[in-house]
């Protein structure tokens, strides 16, 4: 028996996990984390009304989900003032990125992204045989001009930019993004990942132009809306592109409970306001904790803060390892020179207290082993 | 502006929905269905303990799901007496079928299925450019021998068989399936879709041989466990094949609430027993209702009954349309000669009462328009 005949492309791929989850680490260390501040989850939690809607939906979970995600799309349409035809809903931004890459990318096609940007996007690109062209950050910012130049040079089909950025938390104002969209080369599509947009200052998101075929924007209920475990995100773009997702998507992919929670979450503006205020305070507190130890916090328009540990990647990795060993789950950027930082997600005060308590020891241990 | 550059394959695909959901029909008719008996959902509902676990998980939905589905796999491992390495968990069988097709199928590769079998599988095959070879049913049964012969003739990479079958509800005993597995041609993989296996008589499922690389089995929490809206299913097969899903799957695709519900559902054997008993009674009742009107119910090992309307497809379609117009959501097989039938899902007594009340009028109206 020779086993299944994989495609040559799939046979060539590694079996991988783009992110090791905290549960995996907890199983390995045989103890739970005391503070969960590594995955940019929103520990302040979702709207209680959204939780209520999800609990009610649990009673009806014997019914399949609506494959058209109709109620979610109508609610988003109202919320964004964008027609329903310009919205696609999927299994988180991760799921939608996978579908989009499948729609456009064949082996040998080129895709431009920043060196150190979202690994799950790269996972999808590699999964369809695309060639990734990586543009360095400019300082701790993604480089819109450099990305566009690279795309023009290599005839890219896709360009990826997150604004605000993950893992650094930095951001560009709308004017810079608008100039970038205007400069997208013929035949390229800009993926504007706005997973963190709700946390950003007024004037960060460009106006949505639903006629513009050069850009697709992705947003999510995982971050500001605190529903990461529900797996629901959405895209906004030209109607033809939105409809093309129907060629490839898992139509019954977005679960019924998530759909109910998302609709309700959009109605609770007061909770969102509270979250944004809590996150803002928490960002300041993380910066203060960093400063107390002579470390610099990178300014952030997200629900996390990248803290510059002030030395090389080896030092930052040692700080991270010591924090993790003490029960504080955090992560760090993958690529130099941003990997001199560790990345702390905002969360409830008691979690940040645990981080503050563990940091001095982690820094000392890292310095000792340096 | 020319818009995104789709792959030639994706450009050639239709924008489609493999199944129109009942919600879509309800929006079109501007009224809810009074009985939801069309999608083989389990209207008797999930274990109350599973619902409780899902409600508790809703409180923690700010956390991402475990991308390894560890707890679900351990629970399934115990339940099935199969090592964890031989299990893959995904976004329903639909999601897993999509990944599997992607892993094996390139344009021009051949896939064998029954003419009239699961449309979502065909959707995935066409989505990756595979050539479907369709084998007719033998009577109202899928034809294992015919499927194997066709696979050998066309050098198929995949063979699809559901046992018990959907849409007819018929089934083969384990001995027939075992003979089919033994005859799988070199280089082919048999997909044994056991979505309805819990409803089937003892002796329908072959023993699981985890060393056998010729077969992958799919099962789900959507049917007997009553959690269709949660979107969680699983595959059982050789460890190498299970691991290969990690090359392509959306690692964070199975939501946290579904994972919690699935683990708890497996512990409630008493509820499952009650469901099987309720479904068995309901199958008998549907057969009796059919008989009262001179119609024959096809024997079923599932949670639905195909009712032979005794004339041609046009007549069955008219009966169906009249049932739907009267508020009773049912479906019917797509392909001749099985499309002489309508398909009624089992459900609570009051829903079956509504079906029973609507059927005479639907038959009379269909006869009049014939």
Enter the tokens of residue B122: 């065909």
What's the CA dihedral at A125, A129, A133, A134 to 10 degrees? 40
**Residue A194 sits in the same domain as residue A132:** yes
CB atoms B61 and A214 under 8 Å:
no
pLDDT at residue B39, rounded to an integer: 97
Residues A267, A49: contact at Cβ < 8 Å? yes
Q: Where a domain ends, among A265, A299, A329?
A: A265
Mean pLDDT of chain B: 97
Residue with tokens 């199958």: B283
CB atoms B1 and A214 under 8 Å:
yes
Phi and psi angles of residue B45, each rounded to the nearest 5 degrees, phi first: 85, 165
**Residue B155 sits in the same domain as residue B210:** yes
**Partner residues linked to B162 by β-bridges:** B193
pLDDT at residue A15, rounded to an integer: 85
For residue B262, the chain A residues in CB contact (below 8 A) are: none
Q: Which of B129, B231, B232 is the best substitution to test chain A (most A C-beta atoms within 10 A)?
A: B231
Q: Where a domain ends, among A216, A241, A265?
A: A265
CA dist., res. B59 & res. A180, Å (int): 40
**Residue B40 sits in the same domain as residue B53:** no
**Residue A247 sits in the same domain as residue A302:** no
| Count of structural domains, chain B | 2
pLDDT tens digits along A80-128:
999 999 999 999 999 999 999 999 999 999 999 999 999 999 999 999 9
**Residue A289 sits in the same domain as residue A362:** yes
Residues B306, B298: contact at Cβ < 8 Å? yes
The stretch B146-170 carries a mean pLDDT of: 98
Q: Which of B247, B260, B271, B274 is the best substitution to test chain A (most A C-beta atoms within 10 A)?
A: B247
For residue B240, the chain A residues in CB contact (below 8 A) are: 3
Q: Which of A20, A130, A185, A229 is the best substitution to test chain B (most B C-beta atoms within 10 A)?
A: A229
For residue A23, the chain B residues in CB contact (below 8 A) are: 66, 68, 70
Of A19, A46, A65, the CB nearest to B62: A46
**Residue A241 sits in the same domain as residue A306:** no
* Maximum separation of any 2 CA atoms in chain A, in Å: 64
Residue B106 maps to a domain: yes
Task: Please tell me the distance in Å from A294's CA to the nearest CA on chain B.
Answer: 31
The string over A205-226, giving b where at least 16 C-beta atoms fall within 10 Å of a residue's C-beta and e elsewhere, is bbeeebebbbbbbbbbbbbbbb
For residue A262, the chain B residues in CB contact (below 8 A) are: none
CB atoms A104 and B7 under 8 Å:
yes
What share of chain A in percent tops pLDDT 90? 96
pLDDT at residue B64, rounded to an integer: 98
pTM of the predicted protein model: 0.98
pLDDT at residue A370, rounded to an integer: 74
Residue A23 has pLDDT above 60, yes or no: yes
CA dist., res. B188 & res. B148, Å (int): 10
**Residue B307 sits in the same domain as residue B351:** yes
**Residue B131 sits in the same domain as residue B237:** yes
CB atoms B244 and A7 under 8 Å:
no
For residue A238, the chain B residues in CB contact (below 8 A) are: 3
Task: Please tell me the distance in Å from B211's CA to the nearest CA on chain A.
Answer: 10
Of B3, B57, B222, the CB nearest to A213: B3
Report the CATH number at residue A345.
3.90.1150.10
**Residue A287 sits in the same domain as residue A319:** yes
Helix axes B119-127, B92-104, angle to 10 degrees: 30
**Residue A223 sits in the same domain as residue A295:** no
CB pairs under 8 A between A and B: 274
Residues A327, A33: contact at Cβ < 8 Å? yes
Confidence of residue A149 (pLDDT cuts 50, 70, 90): very high
Residue B119 maps to a domain: yes
pLDDT at residue B18, rounded to an integer: 78
pLDDT at residue B369, rounded to an integer: 86
CB atoms A23 and B250 under 8 Å:
no
- Cα three-residue angle B4-B10-B11, rounded to 5 degrees: 65
Closest A-chain CA to B48? A59
CA dist., res. B143 & res. B280, Å (int): 25
Residue A1 has pLDDT above 60, yes or no: no
Residue A184 maps to a domain: yes
Residues A307, A342: contact at Cβ < 8 Å? yes
Report the CATH number at residue A95.
3.40.640.10
Residue A349 maps to a domain: yes
Residue B365 maps to a domain: yes
**Partner residues linked to A132 by β-bridges:** A111
**Residue A195 sits in the same domain as residue A244:** yes
Q: Which of B255, B260, B275 is the best substitution to test chain A (most A C-beta atoms within 10 A)?
A: B255
Q: Where a domain ends, among B235, B265, B295?
A: B265
Residue A5 maps to a domain: no
Residue A250 maps to a domain: yes
Residue A322 maps to a domain: yes
**Residue B33 sits in the same domain as residue B70:** no
For residue A98, the chain B residues in CB contact (below 8 A) are: 250
For residue B213, the chain A residues in CB contact (below 8 A) are: 1-4
pLDDT at residue B16, rounded to an integer: 79
Show the domain range for A81.
48-265
């Amino acid at each position: 028996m020779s086993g299944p005949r994989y495609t040559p492309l799939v046979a060539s791929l590694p079996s991988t996990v783009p992110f090791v989850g905290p549960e995996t680490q907890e199983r390995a260390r045989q103890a739970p984390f005391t503070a969960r501040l590594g995955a940019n989850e929103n520990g302040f939690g979702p709207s209680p009304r959204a939780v209520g809607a999800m609990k009610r939906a649990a009673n009806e979970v014997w019914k399949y989900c609506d494959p058209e995600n109709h109620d979610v799309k109508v609610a988003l349409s109202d919320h964004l003032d964008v027609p329903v035809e310009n919205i696609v809903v999927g299994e988180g931004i991760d799921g939608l990125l996978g579908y989009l890459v499948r729609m456009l990318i064949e082996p040998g096609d080129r895709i431009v992204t920043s060196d150190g940007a979202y690994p799950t996007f790269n996972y999808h690109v590699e999964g369809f045989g695309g060639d990734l062209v990586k543009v360095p950050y400019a300082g701790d910012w993604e480089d819109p001009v450099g990305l566009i130049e690279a795309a023009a040079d290599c005839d890219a089909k896709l360009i990826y930019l997150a604004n605000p950025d993950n893992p650094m938390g930095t951001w560009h104002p709308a004017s810079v993004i608008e100039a970038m969209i205007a400069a997208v080369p013929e035949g390229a599509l800009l993926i504007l990942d706005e997973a963190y947009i709700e946390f950003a200052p007024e004037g960060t998101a460009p106006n949505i132009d639903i006629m513009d075929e050069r850009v697709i924007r992705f947003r999510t209920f995982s971050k500001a809306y605190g529903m990461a475990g529900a797996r629901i995100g959405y895209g906004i773009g030209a109607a033809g592109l939105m409809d093309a997702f129907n060629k490839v998507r898992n139509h019954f992919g977005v679960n019924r409970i998530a759909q109910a929670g998302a609709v309700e979450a959009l109605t609770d503006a007061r909770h969102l306001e509270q979250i944004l205020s809590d996150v803002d305070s928490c960002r300041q507190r993380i910066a203060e904790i960093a400063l107390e130890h002579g470390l610099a916090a990178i300014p952030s328009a997200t629900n996390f803060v990248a803290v510059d540990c002030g030395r090389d990647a080896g030092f930052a990795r040692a700080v991270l390892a010591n924090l993790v060993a003490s029960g504080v789950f955090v992560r760090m950027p993958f690529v130099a020179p941003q990997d001199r930082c560790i990345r702390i997600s905002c969360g409830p005060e008691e979690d940040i207290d645990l981080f503050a308590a563990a940091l001095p020891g982690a820094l000392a241990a890292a310095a000792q082993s340096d």
